[in-house]
Structure 1
Amino acid sequence: MKRILAGLAIAILLILAAGLAFLPGVLESRINRVADHQPYPVPEDAQTLHDRLAVVDLHADTLLWARDPLKRGSRGHVDVPRLAEGNVTLQVFSAVTKVPRDQGYVGTSGDSDIITLLAMVQRWPARTWDSLLERALYQSEKLHDAERRAPEELMIVRSAADLDRLIERRNGGSRPVGGLLAIEGAHPLEGKLENVERLYEAGYRMMGITHFFDNELGGSLHGLSGDGLTDFGREAVREMERLGVIIDLAHASPAVVRDTLDMATRPVIVSHTGIHGACDSPRNLEDALMKRIAQAGGLVGIGYWEGAACGTSPAAVVKSIRYAVDFLGVDHVALGSDYDGAVPVAFDTSELAVLTAGMRDAGFTDEEIGKVMGGNAIRFFRENLPKG
């Protein structure tokens, strides 16, 4: 009987382990969806133009998920093969380290965290289970491991010189996709200023101040306090600027945005957002602040999901881009998908030519399309990344 019970216990454990192995994929399939659709028609001239562009996306959360970024996935929105199909020159990969259980666009508390369980289920190293810093370091390791395994397919960009080498390689016939590391909210600093440099050394070149909840640096757009930068937040901003880390104000409270702009000596980014005048959503900052960001030389990435664009269709995204270009100026608008960020979308990164076609249909010039689809981001990174 003891042997039977022992065998039964082992069988149950194996079944549970197998179930846990499949759980991350099931979860991602439900939340990182692409709407069912027939292939989007892209006229030949629009496709030809798209194939000549340097396409850049300022935000994707791909490293959070239990997928090999080098393999074409059957779920989610981004991987290197699909980036190559979409003619993406540079993808910003953002590390998510904490997500509250009941996150929302208004009144979200940081008292809970679902990434702890996700890290365990996905078999991340035990050091990541109770450390936000280690979660960020691990996601950097994932991207660096992919680069080591396939250097002809993926090249991590850490400096303006790296960016120039990436473009030279692509112009020379090799077609690697560039990857740039970013942090979704600076809570992985864990209240320690020296961790800005530790993350920099791990390859991170863009850092958000907050995500969905208030943290040690200041208030979130979606948090409880509405506060501006704390004293630690101001120290962190100065340290980011010293190192040449680009500051991302996506998810920051209006007060944090104002405080950061008041003290910043370099332009900032809002990596993934909509424009309030085009989509009256609590996810989007008020237009006056977006205008101030642009006037300071900043860059605004337009997202592809409902909360940012009040629609997910290519036409809805193009409508937001049109408003942003008219309001902020064509030199300050870019793409900021929020792919793999627990948002349903209508097209994945392999289908980005549909935006080029949609912008042509909306009356954009080829020069304007080239800037929005990636030219502005290439210029911004060339000017603001460490020279290196």
Structure 2
Amino acid sequence: MHGSLLVGDLHADSFLWARDLADTSDYGHLDLPRARAGNLGIQVFTAVTKSPRGLNYEENAADSGDNITLLAVAQGWPPRTWDSLLQRALFQAQRLHQLASQHPSAIAPVRTAGELRDLLTLRGEGAAPPAAVLGIEGAHPLEGKLENIDVLYDAGFRVMGLQHFFDNELGGSLHGESGAGLTDFGRRAVVEMARRSIIIDVAHSSEQVVRDVLSLTERPLMVSHTGLKGHCDSARNISDSLMQEIAAAGGLVGVGFWDGAVCDPSPRSVVEAIRYAIDLLGVEHVALGSDYDGTVAVTFDAGELGVLTEEMLRQGFTEAEIRRVMGENLRDFLLTQLPAS
């Protein structure tokens, strides 16, 4: 059954690391051979550009230092990335495009609904590589300039998280110090993202930012990698009631695979979180949000995604529920929310 599914995932940080994703690795969570083994058909790859030292789920200061600077230098990233968050995002986009140009039968960047539709048609004929959609984890690569939305858009970014683990120019993080909502700059950025049909991801945003975004735009939101508070009472997860508001506005929620999201990262617990999300939000609003290659520990990698299908069957999911959660909901969301052409 797993081999017949369209499998999709809302969040992986794989281009942050100095690995050749064309080759199978014995570390990390995702590469192209493992994607093929796990029948992965759609992957959102997210560019991480800043991570505070002493990172935690409760509270991080924006000026507490930056682990990515050290990582960029140590991994030999171009000097332009050492002091520019924008250039770090563009460099990770460049890595995806170079990989696709070298291995066009193994991965295909997607910028529009039309490109995704064409790939899905080829996939139905057994001839398509996985679709790769670019996102950013926190919109601090805008560096306080609205015009950088265009720069990132032109580089292929179609999903933009507003915050990561700290408050930024756009507003408060779920793990920041202020708990604040959108700033004036954040409001203008959200309006511009919506105008460009950029998907807004609030996975790390404060609850007030989420409410502000819901009131500001009619476009559905994404929570790319998270858990459900009622299933796992973690500081990483926003309230169930706010999740219901996101779903009621047409949003999509990606259930994570690590302990901070689901408390117990076993396939059983991940699937229990998915069931909880379905019962709370409706099956059409639930997807996978692995956080592969983030700073998390998981119990199964991209080559082993079939364990979720097996566990869903064991827990009594219907075939229709499995197909929707494993990838069809993500497919439908992208086809309606990506720029048409």
Q: Could you say which TM-score interval applies, normalised by the shorter chain?
A: over 0.9
Report the equivalent of 2:61. Answer: 109
> Aligned equivalents of 1:342 and 1:226: distance in 2?
23
Stretches of structure 1 lacking an aligned partner (at least 5 in a row): 1-48
> 1:1-388 counterparts in 2 under 5 A?
49-111=1-63, 112-388=65-341
Residue 173 of structure 1 and its aligned partner are, at CA, apart by 2.2
Tell me the alpha carbon deviations over residues 141-183 of structure 1, each in whole angstroms, 9 at most, x when there is no partner.
0000001001111100111011111111212221411110000
Whether the 8 Å contact between 1:147 and 1:155 is mirrored in structure 2 is yes
- SS, match of residue 82 in structure 1: helix
- SS, match of residue 169 in structure 2: coil
> Aligned equivalents of 1:264 and 1:84: distance in 2?
37
Whether the 8 Å contact between 2:44 and 2:134 is mirrored in structure 1 is yes
- SS, match of residue 340 in structure 1: coil
> Aligned equivalents of 1:201 and 1:270: distance in 2?
23
TM-score, structure 2 as length reference: 0.99
Tell me the alpha carbon deviations over residues 195-222 of structure 1, each in whole angstroms, 9 at most, x when there is no partner.
0111000000000000000000000000
Whether the 8 Å contact between 2:181 and 2:209 is mirrored in structure 1 is yes
Tell me the alpha carbon deviations over residues 2-43 of structure 1, each in whole angstroms, 9 at most, x when there is no partner.
xxxxxxxxxxxxxxxxxxxxxxxxxxxxxxxxxxxxxxxxxx
Aligned residue identity for 1:209: L
Aligned residue identity for 1:50: H
> Aligned equivalents of 1:110 and 1:257: distance in 2?
19
> Aligned equivalents of 2:160 and 2:320: distance in 1?
30
> Aligned equivalents of 2:283 and 2:207: distance in 1?
23
TM-score, structure 1 as length reference: 0.87
- SS, match of residue 75 in structure 1: coil
Residue 256 of structure 1 and its aligned partner are, at CA, apart by 0.2
> Aligned equivalents of 2:163 and 2:253: distance in 1?
17
- SS, match of residue 101 in structure 1: coil
Tell me the alpha carbon deviations over residues 234-286 of structure 1, each in whole angstroms, 9 at most, x when there is no partner.
00001101111000000000000000000112101000000001000000000
Aligned residue identity for 1:362: Q
* Runs of 4+ residues deviating >4 angstroms: none
> Aligned equivalents of 2:121 and 2:149: distance in 1?
30
- SS, match of residue 253 in structure 2: strand
Whether the 8 Å contact between 1:103 and 1:109 is mirrored in structure 2 is no
Which has the higher Rg, Structure 1 or Structure 2?
A: 1
Aligned residues: 340
- SS, match of residue 299 in structure 2: coil
- SS, match of residue 159 in structure 2: strand
Aligned residue identity for 1:318: V
Aligned residue identity for 1:170: R
Whether the 8 Å contact between 1:294 and 1:328 is mirrored in structure 2 is yes
> Aligned equivalents of 1:197 and 1:74: distance in 2?
37
> Aligned equivalents of 1:205 and 1:148: distance in 2?
19
Stretches of structure 2 lacking an aligned partner (at least 5 in a row): none
Report the equivalent of 1:19. Answer: none
Residue 110 of structure 1 and its aligned partner are, at CA, apart by 1.5
Aligned residue identity for 1:313: S
Tell me the alpha carbon deviations over residues 336-365 of structure 1, each in whole angstroms, 9 at most, x when there is no partner.
000100101100010001000101111110
> Aligned equivalents of 1:341 and 1:173: distance in 2?
30
- SS, match of residue 192 in structure 2: helix
> Aligned equivalents of 1:249 and 1:153: distance in 2?
30
Whether the 8 Å contact between 2:218 and 2:249 is mirrored in structure 1 is no
Whether the 8 Å contact between 2:237 and 2:261 is mirrored in structure 1 is yes
> Aligned equivalents of 1:54 and 1:142: distance in 2?
25
